[in-house]
Amino acid sequence: MPKLVAKITILSTSILSLFGSGTARAGNWFDGASSECISNLSTSIVSGGALDGLTAPTPRTSFAGTSGHFRLVYKLASSDLPNPKVYYQTVVVTLDKNATRDLATALKSAADKNPVLMFEDLSGFVLSIAPELVSYTWDAVYAAAKAVLAIEPVNVDAILPLLATGGEVTRDTVIQRSADNSLLAEIFWYYRVSVGSERRAVLLASCRMPVEVKFETALTHQDTNNKRIEFGGSTWAIYDIEDNKYDTPLHYKEQDKEWMYADELDANGVALNNYRISSKDIGGNGISWQTISGGKWRYLSKELSFE
């Protein structure tokens, strides 16, 4: 399939509300979580098998995993603080001639042959129906769209004549906490095109998946002994700002629904000290940095900012 020649634009990134509480340390919580996609076309898009480019990374988000176990990797930023709960991002991909042809082929050949939702006003669609989606099937999406926005499904054949070079695929991402404190992302892809003086939007695909939280650089904010924590993947580099030197690096271990954990190891790989950074606001102070002492966690910094 030809590569997608696309102009990718991040239209909006706003924070409405994001973090909750977690569970005891027991490995990466998202490793045991499943992703759900409402159609074969949805799965194909996320895996990169249809319209290469529709899952392109942004500065804050990227996709990982395989079918049935997709996850969204989300980078914390200071704009998430002090107590965000829903992250919302819109990305627009403008399709060239080859990508438009590929979209038509994908729609015609999708094994599930689901109808699609076509509507005029795209604004508020995701935030309106996402809370309604208890199960993640086409029927559930139809029911939510009909109940909230009075949208009826149409046959795929009805939208094929609307596909044209220069049309846009919009990807909306919503991240929020579920009732059990799991951090979940819901991603919706629509095709948008002008029909004369009117605009039309067609829901093409949608998936729900767990979220892995990361950061690039975190700064502590204390009266003394401030640190810069650099997330290098498997290692957290700890830079002492006052002494102008790096401390012993920490080895990143895992994350549960509330915390990211790292250990200081001896020469034999045995953990000497344990550390953790929260993925939620703690006591109204923001993201916190803790170590364990005497069997109890204590604060090293009650507030972190992110670069």
Q: Are residues 98 and 227 part of one domain? A: no
Q: What is the pLDDT of residue 279?
A: 80
Q: Is-contact 63 48, C-beta < 8 A?
A: no
Residues 6+ apart with CB under 8 A from 223: none
Which among 195, 110, 92 has a CA at the least distance from the CA of 157? 110
Q: Are residues 177 and 221 part of one domain? A: no
Q: Are residues 268 and 248 part of one domain? A: yes
Q: Are residues 263 and 115 part of one domain? A: no
Q: Is residue 1 part of a domain?
A: no
CA–CA–CA angle 18, 75, 172 (5° rounding)? 65
Q: What is the pLDDT of residue 4?
A: 44
Residues 6+ apart with CB under 8 A from 67: 35, 43, 46, 47
Q: What is the pLDDT of residue 69?
A: 92
Residues 6+ apart with CB under 8 A from 232: none
Boundary-marking domain end, from 155, 179, 214: 214
Q: Are residues 229 and 203 part of one domain? A: no
* Length, in residues, of the chain: 307
Q: Are residues 16 and 34 part of one domain? A: yes
Residue 53 gets the label, from left (phi > 0), alpha (psi -120 to 50) or beta, of: left
Q: Are residues 134 and 71 part of one domain? A: yes
Q: What is the pLDDT of residue 86?
A: 67
Q: Is-contact 77 15, C-beta < 8 A?
A: no
Q: Are residues 130 and 33 part of one domain? A: yes
Query: pLDDT for 157-180, tens place per residue?
Result: 777 777 777 788 888 888 887 777
User: Domain limits at 111?
Assistant: 6-214
Which comes out higher in pLDDT, residue 195 or 246?
A: 246
Q: What is the pLDDT of residue 240?
A: 93
Residue 6 predicted with pLDDT over 60: no
State how far the Cα of 12 lies from the Cα of 87, in Å rounded to an integer: 11
Residue 77 predicted with pLDDT over 80: no
State how far the Cα of 232 lies from the Cα of 236, in Å rounded to an integer: 6
State how far the Cα of 83 lies from the Cα of 189, in Å rounded to an integer: 28
- Mean pLDDT of all residues in 38-48: 82
Q: Are residues 130 and 12 part of one domain? A: yes
Cross-strand bridge partners of residue 224? none
Q: How many domains does the chain have?
A: 2
Whole-angstrom Cα Rg for the chain: 22
For the whole model, what pTM was predicted? 0.81
Residue 54 gets the label, from left (phi > 0), alpha (psi -120 to 50) or beta, of: alpha
**Coil/strand/helix, residue 65:** coil
State how far the Cα of 260 lies from the Cα of 254, in Å rounded to an integer: 6
State how far the Cα of 193 lies from the Cα of 113, in Å rounded to an integer: 22
